[in-house]
Amino acid sequence: MAIFEGAGVALITPFCTDESVDYDQLEKVIDYQIEKGTDSIIICGTTGEASTMSHEEQLEVVKACVDHVNKRVPVIAGAGSNCTREAVYLAEKSAQIGVDGLLVVTPYYNKATQGGLVQYYTDIAKASDAPIIMYNVPGRTGCNIQPETAAKLVKEVDTIVGIKEASGNISQVAKLMSLTQGDIDLYSGNDDQIVPILSLGGKGVISVLSNVVPTETHEIVASYLAGDVKKSRELQLKYIELIDALFCEVNPIPVKKAMAELGYCTGTVRGPLTEMEPAHAEKMIQIMKKLNIL
């Protein structure tokens, strides 16, 4: 059984203006997501700015999330690194905290061969019994999980159950689903490709968009899985302009600004990220108003 089906939110981490974690606002954002139908909380991923946190701080945020969610929906914690030992540590400690799954990005900067990826994910899987979703986002990491590699890992390692596919390469995803006969939990990692991924057998999305419109993102997936492809497609296309705005600058700069406009955070990001360009911010705000989000 999949860790979750539907829309999982790649949750922001609210910061105070001094860049410390705002735990009160984190709880409010979590409650908002669950109340609006989000199917899973993904904490300390790319959107959560985990790469700017110490391991201790990251694990504190994961624990705060697990405690506050209190089993209402599955919690999946980011646990990847460009150092296998660090990824193993994060996986082990996150599992001890009580997460329902791990989202493990490929090694970045130093990257890895395909054989290196097999070893990396296998070593992390040995650290805990928590199910693992591999995270393939070559545009950010410079490292691509080839379909044959992902298929090998899913077939040979029991706790590696899924993949968040953000390569943007639909042909690659189709090949993966063919090689695994669909026996892998596939999630879209790109909000503009939710429906195409679902059409190939996807279970849902791990979504930035869901921060801003959780009900509607849930409905894109729920409608498709219920057989209402027309409604799913219409919702996907309705929010394309907003999706584009949310990625007009490096994630999570725009989504932090959007959530600040909604009153859920200060919009503060940690360096090297910077405040959203005023022209981009104004355009996004106008799109949000047009969609009656503001």
Residue 185 corresponds to which tokens in the numbers above?
A: 């939990």
The number of C-alpha atoms within 13 Å of 164 and in the hemisphere containing its C-beta is: 32
89 catalytic? Reply is: no
Count of beta carbons in the 10 Å neighbourhood of residue 269: 23
Give yes or no for a cis peptide into 14 (omega within 30° of 0): no
What CA–CA distance (Å, rounded) separates 226 from 200? 15
What CA–CA distance (Å, rounded) separates 3 from 1? 7
What CA–CA distance (Å, rounded) separates 165 from 178? 15
The dihedral through the CA atoms of 160, 166, 172, 177 has a sign that is positive
The answer to whether residues 67 and 34 touch, using CB atoms and an 8 Å cutoff, is no
The active-site residue, picked from 63, 120, 121, 135, is 135
The active-site residue, picked from 63, 93, 152, 164, is 164
135 catalytic? Reply is: yes
- What residues contact residue 140 under an 8 Å CB cut-off, 6+ apart? 46, 108
- What residues contact residue 287 under an 8 Å CB cut-off, 6+ apart? 241, 242, 245
The answer to whether residues 8 and 207 touch, using CB atoms and an 8 Å cutoff, is yes
Name the H helices within the chain: 23-35, 55-69, 84-97, 114-125, 138-141, 147-156, 170-179, 194-199, 209-212, 214-225, 229-238, 240-246, 253-261, 278-290
Would you name the residues annotated as active-site residues? 135, 164
